[in-house]
Structure 1
Amino acid sequence: MDNRTRFVLYARKSSEREDRQIQSIDDQINYWQKRAKEEGIEIVKIYTEEKSAKTPGRRIEFYTMCDDLEKWHIDGVLCWKLDRLSRNPVDTGTIQYMLQRGKLKCIITSDRVYYPEDSWLIFSVETGMANQYILDLSKNSKRGLQSKLERWHFPGMAVQWYLNDRINRTIISDPERFDMVKKMWEMLLSGCYSPQKILETATYKWGYLSLKRKKTGGKPLALCTLYDIFRNPFYAGYMRYNGQLKKWDHPPMITWEEFQKAQKLFWHTKWESDLKTERPSTLEFSYTWIIVCGECGCMVTAEKKTKILQITKKEKSYTYYHCTHKKNSPIFQCLQKWGVPEWAIESQIKEILESIEIHPEFFDWAKGVLQRRHGEETQGRESIFESINKAIENEEKKKN
């Protein structure tokens, strides 16, 4: 080779299956640096990338290299194999057109050299084989996933709070976090806690950390992740696949009815998902969601009035409930225009409760349900306690 030849080096390795046997980027660079020294090649710039080449428009370094080749006087490109440059017809055409116009004098791979005067049929066949490999791999992967589904083998990594059973090829619950997260669902379904409040409780009171994996996990949940989890039907025993819901055999965390209730809460409740925006303070009243107007059937709302007593000069607050008049129209007008004080409503509720007699069988059944829920609550608190202790131990290890 002429000592004045100037080349750029493009080294790429994808993390996807087609590149498992390809040498690492460092190995590719070391190979070409050693060979360039032996053959008198000057490597002007090295471009490295860890992205798949099957889809055009995704590789920033590749397109930067193409722009540099148009502007600079470069003799050629060094790469491990031709499929390192491209695995799709769009990028292949870009490289092939540069070679055809003489912008590149040659492309050197580890086993051969491509010149502008060579047969374009050979170049097209080799790049076409790389593209066809991707297409076949995609078909085989989809066929494999469908086959797994038909055999009830879970086709991927388990979602948060579940684990992959590699022996039976199915999904099992995470014994360390399952009960704790079930408590999060219960808080959501109660309608009294927003996802942000649930996240704060889990992070700062329970010390929750996600499952530690090789490269990810071991950290508190993000709010956007918690929103995605609460919208995922997987926790109700269903899995989304190809736009359809499929009933799965993993242990569900909640029932399908509870999942639908959670989605209604998301639809009707104005929870603020943006942490940077503070919502205005709102008042909570005891009976606004359980009382309707006896005349028109609309929900009842409440107002809090504050009055300064003339004798003591102290403030005293009163709460009044009244109809929202949502159904008022030119045809119908609700006549309930005056508010009812809270003490009057509580007096009526007390009279109703005192008139109710509990049947002994129902009492025994309710007592059993409460005992069972108490046991589940105790188990959940034990799980939270273990998580907190583990977090403390990890912090002590870091300090030591």
Structure 2
Amino acid sequence: MSKKYQCIQSENCKQAVIFARVSSKEQEPGASLDAQHDIMAEYCQKRGLAVLKNYRVIESSTVGKRTKFNEMLEFVKKQKQKTAIVVHCIDRFQRRFNECVAVEGLLKEDKIELHFYKEGLILNQNSSSADIMRWDMGILSAKMYIASMRDNVNRSMNYNWSLGKWQGRAPIGYLNTRDETNKATVIADPERAPIVKKLFEEYATGCHSLRSIWKLAQEMNLDSFRSKTKKSISRVAVYNMLTNPFYYGEMVVKGQVIPHIYEPLIDKSLFDKVQDLLSGKKIHCKEQVYGGLPFAFRGLIKCAHCGCTLSEETHKKTNGKTYTYLRCGRLKGPCDQELVSESVILNQLDEEVFSKIRINSDIVELLKKNIQQRLIDEEKVNAVMKRQITNEIEKLNVRERRVKDVFFDGGIDRSEWEEEKVNIEAKRKELQKTIEKYADITQEIKDTVNDVLDIAASASMIMKTSDPLQKRELLGLLLSDCYLDGQKLIYKIQKPFDKLLVGSKFEGIVDFHKENIAAFSSLANDIHVYHENMKRLAVGC
């Protein structure tokens, strides 16, 4: 059936691009790319429009940067002759007003025409206000359709939550699947569910830190989600798992805890015990033991050959003395790593680390004084810069309000207002990004600087005189990524302690805080835990 068009095509418009779009591959057949293209190709042939390029686009019109859409606009901009953009209907072209500024600019420059087949509407430089209004109403109708779909989705999700049904990716230890009626459901993962339960039970003993339970999860090959790469689980993921009520039968939805209908992996009493340990309401056992005895390197070192965590064990010699050795657990099969005496590793660390950070009390106090003064100076500079940038942002806000008033008063047209608004927003984002560089230097960071120096000064003495558990607390704070290769320990020193391995040459140490503010900030909580554990071990509770 032929269409009637309210606007007559300009005589000099002899070429076109076809723009066919769907949001995803799961679109209804009537809106498929092939169907759109065939209809518009026939349309162009009847109107004598030479098709320069076909765009078959799978992208959302409301989410993301609309890469293909912008690519199409750039293409027609470069054409020497006016080009018609032929689209099946308005909502295939756009579902929001964001693109109107660029498109209206091309219409006013007489670079393009818009041909909307379904609506029987053609827009060009000379289009009437009534036709422009039809375009705007078409966009508004598309926006209302999207909003209605969003409301339906939210309504469906709220209904499912009220029935105790989970929406989204299942937590670690569960699987998303479909039941016998082909409806989405969640079941316990036969492979990972037993591991999750075991980790809860292990942590509830009180003989694990978050770090050691994380390492145990990695040893048990617990991955965050099923994938081809089997990505190793992160410490944050382990913490989130231990604090997720889903495992005992409840789920968190919009800040509220409600029952769900799926199989629990643990009971609530076990979950509550874990929460008490995580929050500090209950104290971990004095000796986080391995094999019933405390060891300095328990859980800290992995085998460089197979990746298994090394265990420690004691051997009693004929002379009556007891010696401690590190052994590969060989959980992954045969391994060439030999038995190594703990004293060999301690001697290596003393030579490479602890002998190089021996700082007497006078130098420590001098360093503290100098660094604290530099932090104060840095804080003042940051405050001045942040104040200046804040003033610039406020000026932009004032300018935006003024330009808006001019627009509503009729002093500028819509395209000029939109262009100025985009420029202002770009400048504002740039300033906000700049202000982030001038981080706040909190009292916590200042205290952490002093703690780092105190710990460094006492490290050598702790390693020579303290019991194995106190040594382990210090080693866990200072070292990371520890691997044993033969008789040699491979390791990294945590920031910012690595900046103190300079013997007696302290030039530049007073400046190391400038590039390590983030390191101090992230270390604050670890140092707090270190002090608490050292106090508890010192009094034997």
- Name the TM-score, length of structure 2 as normaliser: 0.42
For 1:166-185, what aligned pairs fall within 5 Å after superposition?
A: 167=181, 171-174=185-188, 177-185=189-197
CA contact (8 A) 2:90 2:135 kept: no
Of residues 105, 121, 134 in structure 1, which corresponds to 2:133?
121
CA contact (8 A) 2:214 2:235 kept: no
Of residues 15, 29, 32 in structure 1, which corresponds to 2:40?
32
For residues 52-100 of structure 1, give each alpha carbon's deviation from its aligned partner in whole angstroms, at most 9, with x where no partner exists. Answer: 2124x52111112222233324421111211011111212443344334
Q: Shift of the alpha carbon at 1:130? A: 0.8
1:5 matches 2:17: no
Q: Shift of the alpha carbon at 1:40? A: 2.9
Q: Runs of 5+ in structure 2 lacking a partner?
A: 1-8, 203-207, 285-306, 315-322, 327-339, 347-450, 456-460, 470-541
Percent sequence identity is 17
Which has the larger share of helix?
Answer: 2
1:68 matches 2:91: no
Letter aligned with residue 63 of structure 1: N
Match of 1:198 in 2: 218
Match of 1:151 in 2: 163
Q: Counterpart of 2:157 in 1: which secondary structure? A: helix
Q: Counterpart of 2:177 in 1: which secondary structure? A: strand
Q: Distance in 2 between matches of 1:226 and 1:336?
A: 27
Q: Shift of the alpha carbon at 1:220? A: 5.5
Q: Shift of the alpha carbon at 1:156? A: 5.0
Query: 1:92/1:262 Cα in 2 relative to 1: closer, same or farther (>3 Å)?
Result: farther
CA contact (8 A) 1:78 1:108 kept: yes
For residues 237-291 of structure 1, give each alpha carbon's deviation from its aligned partner in whole angstroms, at most 9, with x where no partner exists. Answer: 33343344433231122453477489789xx9xxxxxxxxxxx99975579xxxx
For residues 274-331 of structure 1, give each alpha carbon's deviation from its aligned partner in whole angstroms, at most 9, with x where no partner exists. Answer: xxxxxx99975579xxxxxxxxxxxxxxx9799xxxxxxxx965599xxxxx9x99xx
Match of 1:43 in 2: 51
Q: Distance in 2 between matches of 1:197 and 1:228?
A: 10
For residues 168-210 of structure 1, give each alpha carbon's deviation from its aligned partner in whole angstroms, at most 9, with x where no partner exists. Answer: 9674425xx325432255258645664697378469xxxx994
CA contact (8 A) 1:188 1:194 kept: no
Q: Counterpart of 2:263 in 1: which secondary structure? A: coil
Of residues 69, 89, 92 in structure 2, which corresponds to 1:81?
89
Q: Distance in 2 between matches of 1:316 and 1:75?
A: 80
Letter aligned with residue 218 of structure 2: I
Q: Shift of the alpha carbon at 1:161? A: 2.0
- Name the TM-score, length of structure 1 as normaliser: 0.54
Query: 1:75/1:261 Cα in 2 relative to 1: closer, same or farther (>3 Å)?
Result: farther
Q: Distance in 2 between matches of 1:281 and 1:166?
A: 41
Query: 1:260/1:182 Cα in 2 relative to 1: closer, same or farther (>3 Å)?
Result: farther
Q: Distance in 2 between matches of 1:126 and 1:105?
A: 17
Query: 1:263/1:20 Cα in 2 relative to 1: closer, same or farther (>3 Å)?
Result: farther
For 1:265-276, what aligned pairs fall within 5 Å after superposition?
A: none
Cα root mean square deviation, aligned: 4.9
Q: Distance in 1 between matches of 2:216 and 2:111?
A: 57
Match of 2:175 in 1: 161
1:135 matches 2:144: no
Q: Distance in 1 between matches of 2:236 and 2:462?
A: 42
Aligned residues: 281
Q: Shift of the alpha carbon at 1:129? A: 0.7
Match of 2:231 in 1: 222
Query: 1:59/1:263 Cα in 2 relative to 1: closer, same or farther (>3 Å)?
Result: farther
Q: Shift of the alpha carbon at 1:4? A: 7.0
Q: Shift of the alpha carbon at 1:231? A: 2.5
Q: Which moved more, 1:110-119 or 1:220-229?
A: 220-229
Query: 1:316/1:28 Cα in 2 relative to 1: closer, same or farther (>3 Å)?
Result: closer
Q: Which moved more, 1:98-107 or 1:155-164?
A: 155-164
CA contact (8 A) 1:16 1:52 kept: no
CA contact (8 A) 2:225 2:231 kept: no
Letter aligned with residue 20 of structure 2: A
Q: Distance in 2 between matches of 1:106 and 1:237?
A: 56
CA contact (8 A) 2:14 2:50 kept: yes
Q: Distance in 2 between matches of 1:317 and 1:155?
A: 50
Q: Runs of 5+ in structure 1 lacking a partner?
A: 211-216, 269-279, 288-302, 307-314, 321-325, 343-400
Q: Distance in 2 between matches of 1:170 and 1:262?
A: 35
Q: Distance in 2 between matches of 1:336 and 1:316?
A: 16
Q: Distance in 1 between matches of 2:466 and 2:71?
A: 71
CA contact (8 A) 2:214 2:238 kept: no
Letter aligned with residue 154 of structure 2: K
Q: Distance in 2 between matches of 1:93 and 1:181?
A: 54
Q: Counterpart of 2:20 in 1: which secondary structure? A: strand
Q: Shift of the alpha carbon at 1:108? A: 3.5
Query: 1:15/1:200 Cα in 2 relative to 1: closer, same or farther (>3 Å)?
Result: farther
